[in-house]
């Protein structure tokens, strides 16, 4: 069945995206496709436009030109809320958790779109409201076990160390059961052990739930291990695309990005 090989393979295509802030061009003519169920990386030096790219994908920034196609749906602009409905979840470079809420409530809030019971049932905490709360709680408990954060269930997340906050944020994104998961530097500021845990979670999420993952990461060894394909951004332009071997041997990439290490 050749038709099946064409359409369902690509979950997201980015077409000629141009984004600028005043005079600053954050993204210029960016094109790439993300295949279903792959782990795809976006790398590049600081200020290259990686975070901006994620912000365009989940509707937080609106590009001046270009188009995003997600699950076959074309769009030029959409609200972040719509992106969530479509099945896009993400985490942030500088953790964006709900600081006053517990781990449990943060992750439960990720189930928001799955919960439908109306305010009258909720006021009584009975019938559909109660049932829905229990069902979603089960899913959340599964995620808590999966991420091994049982012991901080009731802790307000503002009080957690940074590494655990990143994990809770991943849990909240996961609770949305997304088709596409965008991770912005999920390992930044972590020690080796925490990084290893995070790598394991990312691989397990991809494998067990079949979630497509887009990953921004600075640690090259991590990126090369985790991702099947990647693009390299530099000053808002795409300078390379390919699998880890191709990227490693790409002269442009070595100059722009890895070159920094070489010159030392």
Partner 1 sequence: MFYREAGQFKTTYIADQELFPVKQDRWGLLIIIGFSFVVIPVVANDYWLQAILIPFLIFSLAALGLNLLTGYAGQLSLGTGGFMAVGAYSCYKLITIFPNTNVIVLILLSGFVAAGFGLIFGIPSLRIKGFYLAVATLAAQFFFEWLFARVGWFYNYNDSGAIEVPVRKVFDIAVTGPIATTEARYIVVLSIVTTLALIATNIVRGRIGRAWMAIRDMDIAAELIGIRPLYTKLIAFGISSYYAGVAGALYVFTYLGAAEVEVFDINISFEILFMVIIGGLGSISGAFFGSAFIVLIPILITNLPLILGIPINAATVEHFNFMIVGALIVLFLIFEPHGLAKIWSIMREKLRVWPFPY
Residue linked to tokens 């590049």: 44
User: Binding of partner 1 at residue 81 (CB under 8 A)?
Assistant: yes
What single-letter DSSP state applies at residue 7? Answer: T
Output the six-digit token pair for 233. Answer: 């951004």
- Phi/psi zone of residue 171: left (φ > 0), alpha (ψ -120 to 50 degrees), beta? alpha
**Nearest to partner 1 of 8, 210 (CB atom):** 210
In the shown chain, the binding pattern of residues 97 to 116 toward partner 1, with x for contact by CB under 8 A and - for none, equals: xxxxx---x--xxx-xx-x-
Query: In the set 12, 17, 43, 51, which binds Mg ion (CB under 5 A)?
Result: 51
Find the binding residues for Mg ion in span 60-99 (CB under 5 A): 93
User: Which residue among 12, 40, 51, 160 contacts ligand ADP (CB under 6 A)?
Assistant: 51
In terms of phi and psi (left: phi > 0; alpha: psi -120 to 50; beta: otherwise), the region of 10 is beta
Query: Looking at 45-53, 82-90, 119-127, 137-145, which segment touches Mg ion (CB under 5 A)?
Result: 45-53
- Residue nearest Mg ion, CB atom distance: 51
Are the beta carbons of 257 and 43 closer than 8 angstroms?
A: yes
For the bound state, the minimum distance from the C-beta of residue 48 to Mg ion, rounded and expressed in Å, comes to 8
Nearer to partner 1, 132 or 241 (CB): 132
Of the candidate residues 73, 134, 192, 261, the single one contacting partner 1 (CB under 8 A): 134
Select 144 or 186, whichever has its Cβ closest to Mg ion: 186
> Is residue 208 a contact partner of residue 179, using CB atoms and an 8 Å limit?
no
The residues, ordered by sequence, that sit 6+ positions from 16 with a Cβ below 8 Å of its Cβ are: 29, 30, 31, 65, 66, 67
Helix locations, the chain, DSSP H: 2-6, 50-57, 80-86, 103-109, 119-124, 128-146, 162-175, 192-209, 220-226, 244-248, 251-253, 259-263
Q: Which residues bind partner 1 (CB under 8 A)?
A: 58, 60, 79-81, 83-85, 89-90, 92, 96-101, 105, 108-110, 112-113, 115, 117, 119, 122-125, 129-130, 132-134, 137-139, 141-143, 172-173, 176-177, 209
Q: Which residues bind ligand ADP (CB under 6 A)?
A: 21, 24, 26, 44, 46-52
């Amino acid at each position: 069945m050749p038709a099946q090989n064409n359409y369902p393979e690509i979950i997201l295509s980015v077409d000629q995206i141009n984004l600028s802030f005043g005079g600053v061009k954050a993204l210029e003519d960016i094109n790439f496709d993300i295949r279903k169920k792959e782990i795809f990386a976006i790398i590049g030096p600081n200020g290259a436009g990686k975070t901006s790219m994620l912000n365009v994908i989940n509707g937080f920034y609106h590009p001046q030109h270009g188009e995003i196609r997600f699950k076959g749906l074309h769009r030029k602009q959409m609200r972040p809320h719509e992106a969530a409905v479509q099945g896009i979840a993400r985490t942030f470079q500088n953790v964006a958790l709900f600081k006053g809420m517990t781990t449990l409530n943060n992750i439960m809030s990720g189930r928001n779109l799955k919960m439908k019971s109306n305010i009258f049932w909720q006021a009584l905490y009975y019938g559909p409201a109660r049932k829905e709360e229990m069902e979603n709680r089960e899913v959340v408990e599964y995620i808590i076990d999966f991420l091994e954060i049982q012991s901080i269930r009731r802790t307000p997340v503002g009080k957690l160390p940074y590494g655990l906050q990143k994990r809770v944020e991943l849990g909240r994104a996961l609770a949305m059961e997304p088709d596409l998961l965008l991770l912005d530097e999920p390992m930044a500021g972590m020690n080796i052990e925490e990084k290893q845990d995070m790598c394991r979670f990312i691989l397990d999420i991809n494998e067990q739930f079949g979630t497509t993952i887009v990953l921004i990461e600075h640690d090259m060894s991590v990126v090369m291990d985790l991702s099947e394909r990647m693009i390299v951004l530099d000053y808002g332009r795409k300078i390379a695309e390919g699998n880890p071997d191709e990227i490693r041997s790409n002269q442009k990439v070595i100059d722009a990005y890895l070159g920094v290490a070489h010159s030392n």
